[in-house]
């Protein structure tokens, strides 16, 4: 078997590049042996199967079972997104099932459950006895020679899920599929010992791949944290570590260089809430900056998809000009409030949403370049979270925003800080993109490995 140890999967530092070698995930699959002889399975999603394997319709292997009135059993709710949910989650109202609990179906360890209305995630394997929503179909193996570990991977494989989706489109034009239709699907049947070997192989290899992915996700988190620390230090302390410092007057900012100014935002420009209107106002007309445009982007896109039937008066009052800073103003939670997006290029005849506040600088002391990083430094979160007044919805008032203190280096120093942070950000973002790309390859390899093993395209026993 091919070695997929952590050393092979996790090579590459948090900052830097990774070259693919002989043991890289992209080459590992090709290195695993194949069976000596194959035969046509008769169905496209399986393709050719090892000659010694059988292909049998699901109805001969699994039966649809429906046992109810066991509400006293340990409650489980099997869903496509959450898997198996313990009873205590229901009792603590973390998850609330709908309907009469007595109508829920009993499910045993080793059974499979599927929602025939939504099965993008395949069939869910049950790890504990319990009950599930009546919306799910429970499948129980008819034979003891069927290894649940093997079918756990088969039923979650992309090959099988694609077959399910194809069946739905072909039979019901995108609507529900019943088990009466599903049970005619052909399933591969390796020898019992081979089923166990495939399941054990995939348990081991997918665990290694998942560990490699977790390491890279941790690297991404560390890189993002490092970037935020660098930004905050630069916009509050500058680039010269030996410069004399002074107190800023607030704990969340700390000390700043002695020659810098510190002013409230109200003395640097004005603020304006966005436009609020009914649904008929939107969908056509002129460019409209939405909440999502600001929340998702630290620099406002030069092209926005939103449209609004704004008048010339609207376009003047709610204009979007170069140097404007837009803040997310209201949301369900404080965690989404106060995110800033800086406009580098004016958007002609545009207006912006009522869920936003626009700050427009009227002072030459603050550049849009410095604003890009200053208003997105981690300390901003502390200010907004601490000062925000939560009622029903989190809401950022113009008054609170105007009281925000701004550290102001001389303009030339602002530009040097901007250029430094642009360079650092580009390098860190490239490293993050590399890790994301490698995670994507690992996930793709994991999917291919599972597909190949459960359909006999590779020999692991």
pLDDT digits (tens, 9 = 90+) for 302-355: 999 999 999 999 999 999 999 999 999 887 777 788 899 999 999 999 999 999
pLDDT tens track for 110-165: 888 877 665 565 677 777 676 777 777 788 888 888 999 999 999 889 888 887 77
Least confident of 36-45, 140-149, 204-213, 325-334: 325-334
pLDDT on residue 72: 43
| pLDDT value at residue 4 | 32
Would you say the pTM of this structure is higher than 0.85? no
State how far the Cα of 128 lies from the Cα of 309, in Å rounded to an integer. 56
Distance CA 339, CA 330 (A): 11
More confident site: 176 or 155: 155
Following DSSP, what letter does each residue of 90-155 receive, concatenated? HHTTSS---S-GGGSEEE-TT-EEE-TT--TT-PEEP-S-EEE-TTSEEEEES-TTS-HHHHHHHH
Kindly tell me if the per-residue pLDDT of 448 is higher than 80. Answer: yes
Q: Return the top range by mean pLDDT from 11-20, 43-52, 95-104.
A: 43-52
H or E element at residue 450: helix 411-454
Q: Which two tokens stand for residue 326?
A: 């837009």
Residue 431: band (very low, low, confident or very high) from pLDDT cuts 50, 70, 90: very high
Asked if 1 contacts 32 with a C-beta cutoff of 8 angstroms, the reply is yes
Question: Could you tell me which of 449, 459, 435, 443 has the C-alpha nearest to residue 17?
Answer: 435
The residue among 116 and 382 whose pLDDT is bigger is 382
State how far the Cα of 332 lies from the Cα of 394, in Å rounded to an integer.
Answer: 6
Among 277-286, 323-332, 389-398, the range with the most confident prediction by mean pLDDT is 277-286
| Tokens of residue 340, six digits | 């800033």
Q: Is the pLDDT of residue 284 over 50?
A: yes
Edge-to-edge strands, sheet with 282-289: 307-308, 282-289, 351-352
Distance (Å, whole) CA 390 – CA 213? 38
Most confident of 18-27, 134-143, 197-206, 324-333: 197-206
The neighbour count for residue 292, using CB atoms within 10 Å, is: 14
Q: Which residues contact 244 (CB under 8 A, 6 or more apart)?
A: 257, 258, 259
- Dihedral (C-alpha) 85, 91, 93, 99: value to the nearest 10 degrees? 80
Q: What is the pLDDT of residue 122?
A: 67
| Residue 235: strand, helix, or coil | helix
**Across the beta sheet with 340-342, what order do the strands follow?**
269-273, 356-361, 325-328, 340-342
Q: What's the rounded Cα separation, in Å, for the pair 450 and 428?
A: 33
The average pLDDT across 429-457 equals 95
> Quick one: average pLDDT of 230-242?
96
In three-state secondary structure terms, 385 is helix
Residue 160 near residue 45, CB atoms below 8 Å: yes
**Residue 2 CB neighbours (<10 A):** 17
What domains, with CATH codes, occur in the chain?
A: 32-191 (3.90.220.20), 241-408 (3.90.220.20)
Residue 299's nearest CA partner among 361, 342, 353, 358 is: 342
Asked if residue 78 has pLDDT above 90, the reply is no
Q: Give the mean pLDDT of 271-295.
A: 95
Q: What is the reported pLDDT for 263?
A: 96
Q: Which has more pLDDT, 156 or 239?
A: 239
Q: For residue 241, give every residue at least 6 positions away whose Cβ sits within 8 Å of its Cβ, in sequence order, or none.
A: none
Q: Which of 54-68, 276-290, 298-312 has the lowest mean pLDDT?
A: 54-68
pLDDT tier, 461 (very low <50, low <70, confident <90, very high otherwise):
confident
pLDDT above 70 coverage of the chain, percent: 79
| Buried b or exposed e, range 400-436, using 16+ CB within 10 angstroms | bbbebbbbbbeeebbebbbeebeeebeebeebbebbe
Residue 111: per-residue pLDDT: 83
Question: What pLDDT does 31 receive?
Answer: 87
Mean pLDDT of all residues belonging to the chain: 83
Integer CA distances (angstroms), 221 to 12, 147, 209, 436, in order: 16, 39, 18, 11
Structure-block tokens of residue 158: 């992309």
More confident: 134 or 54: 54
In the predicted structure, residue 49 carries a pLDDT above the cut 60: yes
Instruction: Taking each helix axis as running N to C, give the angle between helix 192-237 and helix 148-156, from 0 to 180 degrees, rounded to the nearest 10.
Output: 50
Question: How much is the pLDDT for 65?
Answer: 80
Q: What is residue 170's predicted lDDT score, i.e. its pLDDT? A: 47
């Amino acid at each position: 078997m091919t070695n997929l140890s952590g050393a092979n999967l996790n090579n590459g530092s948090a900052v830097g590049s990774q070259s693919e070698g002989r043991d890289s995930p992209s080459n590992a699959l090709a290195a695993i042996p194949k069976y000596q002889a194959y035969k046509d399975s008769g169905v496209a999603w399986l393709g050719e199967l090892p000659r010694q394997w059988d292909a049998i319709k699901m109805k001969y292997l699994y039966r649809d079972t429906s046992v109810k009135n066991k509400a006293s059993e340990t409650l489980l709710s099997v869903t496509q997104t959450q898997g198996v949910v313990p009873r205590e989650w229901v009792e603590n109202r973390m998850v609330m099932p709908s309907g009469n609990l007595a109508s829920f179906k009993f499910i045993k360890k080793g059974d499979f459950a599927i929602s025939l209305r939504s099965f993008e995630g395949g069939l869910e394997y049950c790890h504990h006895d319990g009950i599930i929503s009546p919306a799910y179909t429970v499948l129980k193996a008819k034979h003891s020679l069927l290894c649940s570990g093997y079918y756990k991977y088969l039923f979650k494989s992309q090959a099988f899920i694609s077959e399910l989706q194809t069946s739905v489109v072909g039979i019901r034009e995108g609507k529900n599929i019943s088990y009466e239709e599903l049970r005619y699907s052909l399933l591969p049947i390796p020898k019992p010992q081979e089923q166990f070997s495939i399941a054990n192989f995939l348990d081991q290899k997918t665990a290694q791949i998942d560990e490699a992915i977790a390491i890279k996700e941790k690297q991404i988190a560390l890189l993002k944290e490092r970037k935020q620390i660098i930004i905050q230090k630069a916009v509050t302390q500058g680039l010269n570590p030996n410069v004399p410092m002074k107190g800023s007057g607030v704990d969340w900012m700390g000390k700043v260089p002695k020659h810098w100014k510190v002013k409230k935002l109200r003395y640097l420009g004005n603020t304006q809430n966005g436009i609020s209107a009914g649904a008929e106002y939107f969908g056509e007309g002129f460019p409209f900056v939405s909440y999502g445009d600001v929340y998702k982007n630290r620099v406002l896109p030069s092209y926005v998809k939103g449209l609004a039937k704004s008048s010339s008066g609207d376009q003047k009052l709610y204009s979007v000009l170069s140097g404007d800073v837009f803040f997310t103003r209201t949301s369900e939670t404080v965690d989404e409030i106060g995110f800033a997006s800086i406009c580098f290029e004016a958007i002609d005849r545009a207006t912006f949403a009522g869920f936003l506040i626009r700050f427009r600088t009227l002072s030459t002391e603050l550049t849009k370049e410095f604003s890009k990083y200053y208003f997105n430094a981690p300390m901003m979160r502390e200010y907004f979270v601490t000062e925000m007044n939560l009622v029903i919805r989190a809401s950022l008032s113009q008054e609170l925003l105007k009281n925000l203190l701004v550290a102001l280096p001389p303009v030339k120093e602002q530009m040097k800080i901007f250029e430094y942070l642009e360079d650092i950000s580009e390098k860190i973002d490239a490293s993050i993109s590399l890790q994301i790309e490698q995670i994507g390859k690992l996930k793709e390899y994991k999917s291919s490995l599972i597909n190949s093993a459960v359909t006999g395209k590779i020999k692991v026993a």
